[in-house]
Structure 1
Amino acid sequence: MNQAETHMYDRFRETVRPFLKSKLEEFELYGYDSVKEEELWEFLKNKKWRKEKEEKLLYQIASDILSVKVGEYMNYATVEAFKGPNWFEGEGKDVLEKLL
């Protein structure tokens, strides 16, 4: 999903922010203090709520946030990192060729 596109739950983000903060604090307890609120929100939109047909109630959205497991998020983040830009395209390719 494009960053500019709005998700049906984006309008609840301010309301559920305390739940997001609580989940991030839990991540910190497990040593994952680099996860940002935006990243967690994107995970929820792209993974947890990707195939939603009917809109959930507010308490269900809060429950989804609180039920995220660290490993579940980290697997998602790892896959997304591999989907990132190819560092060996363009200028990076020239640098790589010089190194080889």
Structure 2
Amino acid sequence: MDSRHVDTWKEMIYPALKSKQEELEMLGYEQATPEGVWKCLCVKIWNGEPEKRLHEIVQDIFHLKSSVYLSYLTIQSYENDDLAASIEALIGNSPDNG
């Protein structure tokens, strides 16, 4: 098979993403979703969205360690907290609230 942009393989490899999600759920990551696994791979493993072969993507999915997924979730949590704090600061300091 040829190399393609990873996004072009996403629909085809959904069963592998679902399998990884189920594995992560069994390990206690109940919030895991196939989309979350995909995003984790894009950020932590692929550093963006490179071109890869189908077997390479499936291999990356099945080799994704729970510690890498936890690291991804932790970073996302911090980023979401920062966003929430920024929004709260903006809303709290708006002229309408004074």
Say whether the fold is shared (TM-score over 0.5).
yes
Deviation at 1:71, TM superposition (A): 1.4
What does residue range 1-100 of structure 1 map to in structure 2 within 5 Å?
Answer: 8-50=5-47, 55-84=51-80, 85-87=83-85, 88-92=88-92
CA distance in 2, matches of 1:80, 1:73: 11
Query: RMSD across aligned C-alpha pairs, in angstroms?
Result: 2.0
Letter in 2 for 1:90: L
Per the TM alignment, residue 86 of structure 1 is displaced from its structure 2 partner at its CA by 3.9
Q: Larger % of strand: which?
A: 2
User: With structure 1 as the length reference, what TM-score do the two structures score?
Assistant: 0.74
- How many residues end up aligned between the 2 structures? 86
Unaligned runs of 5+ in 1: 1-7, 95-100
Q: Secondary structure at the match of 1:83?
A: helix
Q: Segments of 4+ in structure 1 off by > 3 A? A: none
What TM-score does the superposition give when structure 2 sets the normalisation length?
Answer: 0.75
| CA–CA distance in structure 1, aligned partners of residues 49 and 8 of structure 2 | 16
In terms of fraction of residues, the more helix-rich structure is 2
Identity %: 34
